[in-house]
């Protein structure tokens, strides 16, 4: 088809033109370049040639990978809930022993000196298996926190089949990183790679003990970097086969360097389904250094509860894109409260670093040393503002949160918006209610139906702002609403109990 479109001639015309060309060619000398043989167009070299050979990598790295098994001590023959007497008698008669897994009846328990009941005996039972890798030649081993957490004893098996009892140096559940120590020297430590140079599509390899099968090698490619799953850190996502027992093992690049710790899988069956996550080694080492130094990890905090910025909230507030973290609650007396942060603020930068997603903020604050003076950039009612804040140490102890719903009895209804607008019945807050809620302004929702109800508002909520404008009472609320295009969605900042969040009300059209 291409030739015919380039030469749209009839067959006769084409033959006559070709004859003329041949005659002319016989009478005229050919140019020098035409006398040379035609050169075929150069073909691009293939980008990928064959598959990688992992044999040298395995020989180099596998001696640094260890198997970790954990045990738990269980009391045998101790006090406990007695089983049914008839069932006890059945087992005694037919098997000559108590029912397995049940406490020994009192009359059959061994007696100690003086006829007193002997102390219960403990028995070591298998708890689980995992993997790890040698961090230093003097015996520090890195693994996952969930591999060793809760274990009474930890044993590390080297590739030369030596099994050594390990001491847990420290565990950090937030990042799922743990460090254990074995009494050995001149061990083959791993080489650490540069995670920033890792590329999507790059080949990587994992070595571990899936289902207890020691030194099992699997390979695949990097599927994504900095995958945000809502955890403390962002993961390296791969399609390397990782199964139970692989946890804590190394993820290795083609240079034989460790770039991550295999930690999680995304699965509906409990087994590998093509998606696995690894902790970046640079994040893990920061945690490991603190664990080795003090046995715990110190993190910073500023005292705010946050949530993501949705696109509709960003549009309604005038943000260029859904970016940052919405402050839902400010810890009273905390660093953010002292800095002037308010519920409804959108934190867009921390110490000059852009907060792209809400999950970025706790990561940035967490790695900041307590006592550091930082700067928060917040977006508040259409303008950006810089606030100085002092970072303090994070306390992992859970705090009781105030119950949802505002306190106090609703005041007299002062205004009711038409059902065709927002569907809100409001009243101004009394002085007593403001004192209880620790706020200076806002209006109380007496009733919500229609669009307001669909947006999630309910009786007892307090509206602090509408259309990015703070409101002190119902009169001001109605004045602001009167300037808003009621045919378009409008944002409201809602306080419920100790929490605040944005809601977007879509009027009836």
**176 marked as part of a ligand binding site:** yes
Q: Can you tell me the distance from the alpha carbon of 175 to that of 164, in angstroms, rounded to the nearest whole number?
A: 26
Contact (Cβ atoms closer than 8 angstroms) between residue 301 and residue 394? yes
d(CA 147, CA 135): 17
Q: How far apart are CA 281 and CA 195, in angstroms?
A: 7
Which residue is catalytic, options 122, 146, 153, 267? 146
**269 annotated to a ligand binding site:** no
- Rounded CA-CA distance 41/39 in Å is 6
Residue 153 marked as a ligand binder: no
Does the annotation mark 5 as catalytic? no
User: What is the spatial distance between Cα 76 and Cα 14, in angstroms, rounded to a whole number?
Assistant: 101
**What is the DSSP code (8-state) at residue 271?**
S
DSSP string, 92-108: HHHHSSPPTTSPPPGGG
Confirm whether residue 128 is marked as ligand binding.
no
Annotated catalytic, 337? no
Is residue 509 within 8 A of residue 497, CB to CB? The reply is no
| Cβ 335 vs Cβ 350: under 8 Å | no
- Is residue 196 annotated as part of the catalytic site, yes or no? no
For residue 314 the two structure tokens come to 């960003």
| CA separation for the pair 129, 148 (Å, rounded) | 9
Phi, psi angles (nearest 5°) of residue 220: -175, -155
**247 annotated binding-site participant:** yes
| Active-site hit among 247, 263, 278, 427 | 247
Q: What token pair was written down for 383?
A: 């303008």
Active-site position among 64, 172, 176, 360: 176
Six-digit token pair at 434? 């403001």
CA neighbor of 67 nearest in space, from 126, 7, 5, 3: 126
Phi, psi of 407 (to 5 degrees): -90, 165
- The closest of 391, 384, 387 to 368, measured between CA atoms, is 391
Helical residues (DSSP H) of 360-483, grouped into ranges: 360-366, 431-437, 450-454, 474-482
* Annotated binding residues for substrate: 146, 176, 245-247
Which active-site residues does the annotation give? 146, 176, 247
* Annotated binding residues: 146, 176, 245-247
């Amino acid at each position: 088809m291409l030739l015919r479109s380039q030469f749209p001639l009839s067959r006769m015309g084409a033959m006559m033109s070709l004859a003329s060309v041949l005659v002319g060619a016989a009478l005229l000398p050919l140019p020098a370049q035409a006398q040379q043989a035609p050169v075929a167009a150069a073909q691009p070299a293939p980008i990928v040639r064959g598959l990688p050979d992992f044999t040298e990598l395995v020989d180099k790295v596998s001696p640094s990978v260890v198997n970790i098994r954990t045990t738990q001590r269980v009391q045998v023959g101790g006090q406990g809930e007695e089983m049914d007497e008839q069932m006890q008698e059945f087992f005694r008669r037919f098997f000559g022993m108590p029912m397995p897994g049940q406490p020994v009846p009192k009359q059959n328990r061994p007696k100690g000196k003086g006829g007193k009941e002997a102390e219960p005996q403990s028995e070591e039972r298998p708890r689980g298996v995992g993997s790890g890798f040698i961090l230093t030649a003097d015996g520090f081993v890195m693994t996952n926190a969930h591999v060793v957490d809760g274990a009474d004893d930890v044993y590390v098996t080297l590739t030369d089949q030596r099994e050594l009892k390990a001491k847990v140096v420290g565990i950090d559940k937030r990042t799922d990183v743990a460090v254990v120590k074995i009494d050995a020297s001149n061990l083959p430590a791993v080489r650490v790679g540069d995670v920033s140079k890792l590329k999507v599509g790059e080949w990587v390899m994992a070595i571990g003990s899936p289902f207890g099968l020691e030194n099992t090698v699997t390979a695949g490619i990097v599927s994504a970097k900095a995958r945000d799953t809502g955890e403390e850190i962002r993961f390296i996502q791969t399609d390397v086969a990782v199964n139970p027992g692989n946890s804590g093992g190394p993820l290795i690049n083609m240079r034989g360097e460790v770039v991550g710790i295999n930690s999680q899988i995304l699965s509906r069956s409990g087994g590998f389904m093509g998606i696995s996550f690894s902790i970046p080694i640079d994040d893990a080492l920061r945690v490991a250094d603190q664990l080795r130094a003090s046995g715990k990890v110190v993190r910073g905090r500023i005292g705010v509860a946050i949530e993501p910025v949705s696109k509709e909230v960003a549009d309604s507030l005038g943000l260029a894109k859904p970016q940052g973290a919405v402050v839902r609650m400010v810890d009273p007396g905390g660093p953010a409260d002292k800095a002037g942060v308010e519920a409804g603020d959108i934190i867009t930068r921390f110490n000059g670093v852009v907060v792209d997603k809400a999950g970025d903020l706790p990561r940035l604050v967490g790695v900041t040393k307590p006592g550091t003076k930082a700067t928060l950039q917040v977006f508040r009612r259409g303008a950006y503002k810089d606030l100085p804040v002092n970072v303090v140490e994070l306390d992992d102890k859970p705090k009781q949160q105030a119950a949802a719903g505002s306190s106090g009895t609703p005041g007299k209804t002062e205004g009711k918006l038409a059902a065709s607008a927002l569907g809100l019945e409001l009243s101004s807050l009394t002085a007593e209610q403001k004192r209880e809620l620790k706020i200076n302004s806002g209006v109380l929702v007496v009733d919500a139906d229609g669009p307001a109800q669909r947006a999630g508002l309910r009786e007892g909520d307090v509206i602090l702002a509408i259309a990015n404008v703070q409101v002190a009472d119902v009169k001001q609320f109605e004045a602001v609403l009167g300037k808003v295009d009621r045919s378009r969605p409008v944002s409201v900042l809602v306080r419920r109990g100790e929490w605040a969040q944005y809601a977007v009300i879509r009027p009836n059209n």
